[in-house]
């Protein structure tokens, strides 16, 4: 004797297509959101190991590193400009003193 049970469930799922093999599958919005946020690997129904790329934390760390590099470059430029201006002021002062003596 065969026992058959059915369950009717209504859920909203996010439909995705595996970017490796092309199989269509679905997941909960929470699962997708978490995988996108943490960059962790998951598997499509065919077994492809996939992820949504770098986690938000990794993206923010890269952005922070880029900002630090840019800030350091701007600081170096400002300091070089200040040194150049100081040197030019010294030349101007020397020329003024020379002119006053003549």
User: Which residues are near Zn ion by CB under 5 A?
Assistant: 18, 20-21, 44, 46, 48
Measured between alpha carbons, how far is 85 from 100 in angstroms, rounded to an integer? 22
End-to-end CA distance of the chain: 122
Q: How far is the CB of 77 from Zn ion (least distance, A)?
A: 49
Q: How far is the CB of 22 from Zn ion (least distance, A)?
A: 7
Q: How far is the CB of 21 from Zn ion (least distance, A)?
A: 3
Burial class (CB in 10 A: 0-12, 13-18, 19+), 67: exposed
- Which of 21/80 has CB closer to Zn ion? 21
């Amino acid at each position: 004797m065969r026992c058959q049970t059915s369950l009717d469930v209504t859920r909203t799922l996010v439909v995705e297509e595996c970017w490796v093999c092309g199989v269509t599958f679905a997941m909960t919005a929470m699962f997708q959101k978490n995988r996108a946020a943490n960059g962790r690997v998951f598997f499509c129904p065919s077994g492809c190991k996939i992820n949504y790329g770098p986690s938000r934390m990794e993206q923010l760390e890269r952005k922070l590193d880029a900002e630090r590099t840019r800030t350091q470059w701007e600081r170096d430029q400002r300091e070089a400009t200040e040194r150049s201006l100081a040197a030019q002021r010294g030349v101007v002062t020397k020329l003024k003193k020379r002119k006053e003596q003549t």
